[in-house]
Amino acid sequence: MTLNVDAVIGYSWDAVGVVWLIGYAFTKRTVRRQPIGARLFHLALLVLGGCMMAGPWFRYGWLKMRFVPELEGVALAGMVLTVAGCAFAIWARVTLGANWSGLATVKADHELITSGPYSLARHPIYTGLLTAITGSALVSGEWRSLLGALIIVFAIVVKMSQEERLMMQTFPNAYPLYRERVKALIPGVL
């Protein structure tokens, strides 16, 4: 039996989608959210980046050329990064529970979660997703995927800054201390 790297990656992203859809039904009521313009900008970047990475629309010219050699080791490394990133994002999403939102929001009775993956990074869902996106881009190996991944990174940085502002306003005493203790994305680094 041979390992189908593309199938494993697809199932990993499917698992993220299923957890997000199920979890969405159990979120708390939103009391404050990011402005609609900021949300639309963030979504447009995510859609563009996702389409560049996964869709057939950008497979032309230099965008379809490879930035890494087509080697089994590269594909396996990309698959491992994708699976590990998706698993980490799912762990963070489950830990966040009813406080989660697809928007930068504050929920009713919002809690500052600092345990589990949130003791490693302030935005562990993004850590996991960025790891998985990096892995998926490696497996594709095409410039379009790398460019799409960079667009998604930019979208996440934009949303993360909006979330940071909301958390500072919501938890003016606890969040600055949490920020001093825990890095945003990469434990001990960034």
What tens digit of pLDDT does each residue of 84-142 get? 999 999 999 999 999 998 888 889 899 999 999 999 999 999 999 999 999 999 999 99
Q: Domains of the chain by range and CATH?
A: 5-181 (1.20.120.1630)
Cα distances (Å, whole numbers) of residue 165 to 32, 51, 136, 148, 178: 12, 29, 30, 26, 14
**Percent over 70 (pLDDT), the chain:** 99
Residue 65 burial by CB count (10 A; 0-12/13-18/19+): exposed, middle or buried? exposed
Q: Which residue has the tokens 């979660």?
A: 113
What does the pLDDT look like over 48-82, one tens digit per residue? 999 999 888 888 889 999 999 888 899 999 999 99
pLDDT at 128: 97
Q: Which residue has the tokens 């406080």?
A: 99
User: What phi and psi, each to the nearest 5 degrees, are found at residue 175?
Assistant: -70, -40
CB within 8 A of 113, min separation 6: which ones? 95, 96, 97, 99
107: enclosing H helix or E strand = strand 105-107
Full DSSP string of 26-43 = TPPPEEEE--HHHHHHHH
Residues 129, 61: Cα–Cα separation, whole Å: 28
Full DSSP string of 33-85 = E--HHHHHHHHHHHHHHHHHHHSSTT-SGGGGSBSS---HHHHHHHHHHHHHH
pLDDT at 101: 87
The pTM score is 0.93
What does the pLDDT look like over 14-39, one tens digit per residue? 999 999 999 988 999 989 888 888 88
